[in-house]
Amino acid sequence: MRYTYVVSHMNSRWNPYPERAMTTPTPHIPTTAGRGPMSYAIFQLARAHRGYAAAMLREMDLHPGQELLLMHLLDRDGQTQSELLESVGLDHSTVSKSLRRMQDAGLLIREPAEHDRRVMVVHLTDKGRAMREPIAAMWQALEEASARNLSAQQAESFVGSAYAIVDAINSRALPQEESE
């Protein structure tokens, strides 16, 4: 891949995509990340998005990730803890901790499955079901804030690009798995 050096009025940075003009000013990219501007932008985006969402969730007495668990339970109540793990893509300890906090907050109950007492089934309480509209409104506000500087076409293109990146990353073995 050929890299070109681009000088903007905001900063100097490497541009691995010389055919794509970088017309919007960007924050300074550390030189060690200069050959991965897309990865650095994804990192910055994820950090900003998570921080903004976390502030909105705090107003609802939720922790980041709990809204995802609630959304999946609102779509299909009575899932096992393993099914929720798979749905949200988080690790076991994170989901267990979140579910415990949510149970303590009265949003859900966990009970052993009839077919196997070791399997925990998660059900929403009335308080948990009442979170449907506040979560939908929060998610819409987050979407509007995120897309504020984008046209409808740019937003649609971004969603497609983001999922293409997710697919590309998920189709690769993790670095430690490649070396085995």
Q: State the CATH number of the domain containing residue 73.
A: 1.10.10.10
Q: Which pLDDT does position 127 carry in this prediction?
A: 98
Q: Which pLDDT does position 28 carry in this prediction?
A: 81
Q: Which pLDDT does position 172 carry in this prediction?
A: 87
Structural domain includes residue 148:
no
Answer with the residue of higher pLDDT: 60 or 18: 60
Structural domain includes residue 149:
no
Q: Which pLDDT does position 173 carry in this prediction?
A: 77
Q: Which pLDDT does position 178 carry in this prediction?
A: 57
Task: State pLDDT tens for residues 93-106.
Answer: 999 999 999 999 99
With contact defined as beta carbons under 8 Å apart, do 44 and 28 qualify? no
Q: Which pLDDT does position 104 carry in this prediction?
A: 98
Taking alpha carbons only, the member of 48, 43, 87, 80 closest to residue 65 is 87
CB within 8 Å of 29: residues ≥ 6 apart? 11, 13, 14, 37, 40
Helices 132-146 and 66-75: crossing angle in degrees, nearest 10, is: 120
Q: Which pLDDT does position 2 carry in this prediction?
A: 37
Residue in the block written with tokens 């697919």: 167
Query: Would the pLDDT of 26 be above 70?
Result: no
Task: State pLDDT tens for residues 130-156.
Answer: 999 999 999 999 999 999 999 999 999
With contact defined as beta carbons under 8 Å apart, do 57 and 63 qualify? yes
With contact defined as beta carbons under 8 Å apart, do 18 and 4 qualify? yes
**H or E element in which residue 140 lies:** helix 132-146
Structural domain includes residue 54:
no
Quote the radius of gyration of the chain (alpha carbons, Å): 21
Structural domain includes residue 104:
yes
Q: Which pLDDT does position 143 carry in this prediction?
A: 97
The domain total for the chain is: 1
Q: Which pLDDT does position 150 carry in this prediction?
A: 96
- The percentage of residues in the chain with a pLDDT greater than 70, rounded to a whole number, is 83
Q: Quote the CA–CA distance of 161 and 112 in Å, as a whole number.
A: 41
- E strands, the chain, are 4-7, 12-15, 79-80, 108-112, 120-124
Domain range for 126 is 60-130
With contact defined as beta carbons under 8 Å apart, do 78 and 122 qualify? yes
Structural domain includes residue 81:
yes
**Side chain identity at 50, as an amino acid letter?**
R
Query: Would the pLDDT of 13 be above 80?
Result: no
With contact defined as beta carbons under 8 Å apart, do 123 and 108 qualify? yes
Taking alpha carbons only, the member of 83, 81, 124 closest to residue 105 is 124
With contact defined as beta carbons under 8 Å apart, do 25 and 34 qualify? no
Task: State pLDDT tens for residues 27-61.
Answer: 788 888 888 999 999 999 999 999 999 999 999 99
Q: Which pLDDT does position 68 carry in this prediction?
A: 96
- The percentage of residues in the chain with a pLDDT greater than 90, rounded to a whole number, is 72
